[in-house]
Chains A and B, each alone.
Chain A
Amino acid sequence: MDKLIRVDLTHLTVRTEAVPEAWLGLGGRALTSAIVAAEVPPTCHPLGPNNKLVFAPGLLSGTSASNSGRLSAGAKSPLTGGIKESNVGGTAAQMFAKLGIKALIIEGIPEKDTWYGLHISREGVAIREDGTLQGLGNFAVLEALQARQARKLGVICIGPSGEYKLSGANISVKDPSGKLRSHGRGGLGAVMGSKRIKYLTIDDEGAQGLQMADPEAFKAASKVFTKALMEHPVSGQGLPTYGTNVLVNILNEAGGLPTRNFTYGQFDGHEQICGETMHETIVARGGKPRHGCHAGCVIQCSQVYNDAQGQYLTSGFEYETIWGLGANCCIKDLDDIATADNLMDDLGLDSIETAVAFGVAMEAGLLAWGDGKEVLRILREEIGKGTPLGRIIGSGAGSVGRAYGLTRVPVVKNQAIPAYDPRSVKGIGITYATTPMGADHTAGYTIATNILNVGGQVDPLKKDGQVELSRNLQIATAAVDSTGMCIFIAFPALDIPECLPALIDMINARFGTRLTGEDVTGLGKAVLKTERAFNLAAGLTPAHDRLPEFFRTDPVAPHQAVWDFTDEEVDAFWAF
């Protein structure tokens, strides 16, 4: 029987609980958000003893379903002041599911001024006082933890940024090749740091494994689902070959590639940092153009990027990071960006928040546009060492903007806006404004339909249809985020009619339920409304569902587009 495990750090106790009936049908984001909404006082300080950090595998995690290995983490965010869910690949979700852990709830704050590790196995959870890894970067933490144990462990950890409780700190999760993936957004690493947990190790040896209500039906549905993923041109060919970074040239062409801290929509160095150039470089240097973030991924959008000597430089090198330091900071050297990517992984920093913070820092005159070497120095010497400047930049774009009195600060609910300009790709602006997460492209990825011609076509430069598009995608995404599925299954799901029913059939076969498409839509709506209610109670209002003012006043080239939605039009998003 699946269980909840509650770790109370104030009293240093662990309790195993039955899953309350209301939460039995939930997983991933639906479950972390339900627990945070039920148990965390919305007005609490995110870094205080009343916040809770919740981990939950998706409904299908641990099964053989393709792309189902995502782990959700939830808490009140120190960056946004609202609810946060961030999901990640890696090996932990599948291990949690096999151990029958539906959710792990970490609460309280220890009295002692020391650090702790949690070890999770079939015996339960052990709290270990362990200050030996304090101050270490994530890669050294992984190495030290694995050296203690012969069997392959799952690891969830924070770097120095999480220890410093910076609002840009992420939580890192070990991936199948021993590198890292990240619960990137919203400063969840700072919440983990506030609880003085440096790491969690997971050993699934002798785990009970999963119970499957109807193994035959599962197998049949899983086959249809995988076929859809393989057959769709985006998930089957485009993503595996060029990775997410193929978007640089597409957004540049469409005038939606935020450049020089969201001043322009096109970058003259786009060919130096684009997916095509990156693919050629990876192949020429003996890297890996295809790589999965978790076992069972058939899309393999990730990659391993080597330096000019053919040595490992970074992996999981994504469009968002490359755009953020590339076009948005005007850095044209892909090797500098890759080095920064690896450093951010090691320090445990969200590479979107941090890259956008560097763009704002460049606007403030702290360093020159395009100065990749100075970015590397600041990462190592300022953020890595916790200097005052490092803490300002490491706490995100909003933090830098406030410290330097700037108005061009691309954040919503204090979270940095990702790699699509909302003036020239208007659907994503509705998502940035309305998602309870703060600016987050993955919450309702309208780029699919605005730019990529997936799931139809809605003109990115016009207002028509954008609110409805974002709403439908946000509802669907909230449901998908609860299954443990990678969000890239949305590409086939939007175009191939058999894909979504097969996903629902897999859930039904796993749990013996009879969910319909309508139930799944209902789940997505319920998740959004739960999250929204938490935010309202935390003090976030419709006035926080707004883009920064400069998007209205400063037209973006080449289309000279501005953000022109009225407040009423944006607020209509919630009419469901």
Chain B
Amino acid sequence: MVITIKLFAHLRHGRFKEDIRPWREGTRCGDIVRELGLRAGELGIVMVNGEHAPLDQALEPHDVLAIFPLVGGG
């Protein structure tokens, strides 16, 4: 199944802004986080299709997974 992954802020360094490619059925958010080499402490916000998602959420074909470090503003 094809998943779009978007990275933000310093998570882009040495990786990418956006990556669209096939993943095996049943892949969870956490699997992709691990594959990208992201440490737990680096993670701030994980969204699937614009909604906050837990790491154990299973992805569906054509889902958009967005990963942000802990940042804020105002």
Q: Given the complex, which residues of B lie within 8 Å of A238, measured CB to CB?
A: 9, 44, 69-72
Alpha-carbon distance A491/B71, docked complex (angstroms): 10
Q: A233-B44, A241-B10 are in contact. Are A457 and B52 (CB under 8 A)?
A: yes
Any B CB within 8 A of the CB of A503: no
Complex interface residues of chain B between 37 and 66 (CB less than 8 A to chain A): 44-45, 47, 50-52, 66
Alpha-carbon distance A301/B6, docked complex (angstroms): 24
Q: Given the complex, which residues of A lie within 8 Å of B12, measured CB to CB?
A: 276
Partner of B74, one of A254, A255, A447: A447
Any A CB within 8 A of the CB of B8: yes
B50 close to A242 (CB less than 8 A) = no
Partner of A250, one of B10, B17, B51, B71: B71
Q: Tell me the smallest distance from the CB of A305 to a CB of chain B, in Å.
A: 16
Q: Tell me the smallest distance from the CB of A364 to a CB of chain B, in Å.
A: 29
Q: Tell me the smallest distance from the CB of A12 to a CB of chain B, in Å.
A: 40
Q: Given the complex, which residues of B lie within 8 Å of A488, measured CB to CB?
A: 72, 74
Q: A238-B9, A457-B52, A459-B52 are in contact. Are A253 and B47 (CB under 8 A)?
A: yes
B72 close to A452 (CB less than 8 A) = yes
A453 close to B44 (CB less than 8 A) = yes
Alpha-carbon distance A447/B68, docked complex (angstroms): 15
Any B CB within 8 A of the CB of A247: yes
Q: Given the complex, which residues of A lie within 8 Å of B73, measured CB to CB?
A: 239, 242-247, 275, 301, 319
Q: Given the complex, which residues of B lie within 8 Å of A247, measured CB to CB?
A: 71-74
A453 close to B10 (CB less than 8 A) = no
A233 close to B52 (CB less than 8 A) = no
Q: Mark A549-566, 1 if CB is under 8 A from B, else 0.
A: 000000000110000000
Q: Mark A244-264, 1 if CB is under 8 A from B, else 0.
A: 111101100111000000000
Q: Determine which residue in B8, B50, B74 has the highest number of CB atoms from chain A within 10 A of its CB, and name it.
A: B74
Chain B, Cβ-Cβ closest to A232: B70
Any B CB within 8 A of the CB of A169: no
In the complex, which range does the number of interface residues on chain A fall in? 35 or more
Complex interface residues of chain A between 269 and 297 (CB less than 8 A to chain B): 271, 275-276
Q: Mark A512-526, 1 if CB is under 8 A from B, else 0.
A: 000000000000000
Q: Tell me the smallest distance from the CB of A271 to a CB of chain B, in Å.
A: 8
Q: Given the complex, which residues of A lie within 8 Å of B66, measured CB to CB?
A: 253
Q: Given the complex, which residues of B lie within 8 Å of A255, measured CB to CB?
A: 50
Complex interface residues of chain A between 447 and 504 (CB less than 8 A to chain B): 447-448, 451-454, 457, 459-461, 487-488, 491
Q: Tell me the smallest distance from the CB of B14 to a CB of chain A, in Å.
A: 14
Q: A241-B9, A276-B8 are in contact. Are A234 and B47 (CB under 8 A)?
A: no
Alpha-carbon distance A187/B17, docked complex (angstroms): 41
Chain B, Cβ-Cβ closest to A486: B74
Q: Tell me the smallest distance from the CB of A514 to a CB of chain B, in Å.
A: 32
A246 close to B9 (CB less than 8 A) = yes
Give the number of residues in B that approach A within 8 Å (Cβ atoms).
20
A239 close to B71 (CB less than 8 A) = yes
Alpha-carbon distance A255/B47, docked complex (angstroms): 11
Chain A, Cβ-Cβ closest to B45: A453
B72 close to A454 (CB less than 8 A) = yes
Q: Given the complex, which residues of B lie within 8 Å of A241, measured CB to CB?
A: 9-10
Alpha-carbon distance A138/B52, docked complex (angstroms): 43
A487 close to B50 (CB less than 8 A) = no
Alpha-carbon distance A247/B66, docked complex (angstroms): 14
Any B CB within 8 A of the CB of A445: yes
Q: Given the complex, which residues of A lie within 8 Å of B47, measured CB to CB?
A: 253-254
Chain A, Cβ-Cβ closest to B41: A233
Any B CB within 8 A of the CB of A80: no
Any B CB within 8 A of the CB of A441: yes
Any B CB within 8 A of the CB of A442: yes
Q: Given the complex, which residues of B lie within 8 Å of A254, measured CB to CB?
A: 47, 50-51
Alpha-carbon distance A255/B48, docked complex (angstroms): 12
B74 close to A253 (CB less than 8 A) = no
A445 close to B71 (CB less than 8 A) = no
Q: Tell me the smallest distance from the CB of B68 to a CB of chain A, in Å.
A: 6
Q: Tell me the smallest distance from the CB of B8 to a CB of chain A, in Å.
A: 5
Partner of B6, one of A253, A459, A491: A253
Alpha-carbon distance A451/B51, docked complex (angstroms): 9
Chain A, Cβ-Cβ closest to B54: A457
Chain B, Cβ-Cβ closest to A279: B9
Partner of B45, one of A275, A276, A301, A452: A452
Partner of A452, one of B6, B10, B71: B71
Q: Given the complex, which residues of B lie within 8 Å of A319, measured CB to CB?
A: 73-74
Chain A, Cβ-Cβ closest to B12: A276
Alpha-carbon distance A389/B6, docked complex (angstroms): 43
Please list 10 pairs of residues, one from A and one from B, whose beta carbons are closer than 8 Å in the complex, sorted by A's number: A238-B9, A238-B44, A238-B72, A239-B72, A250-B71, A253-B8, A253-B50, A254-B47, A453-B45, A459-B52
Mark B residues whose CB is within 8 Å of A.
6, 8-10, 12, 17, 44-45, 47, 50-52, 66, 68-74
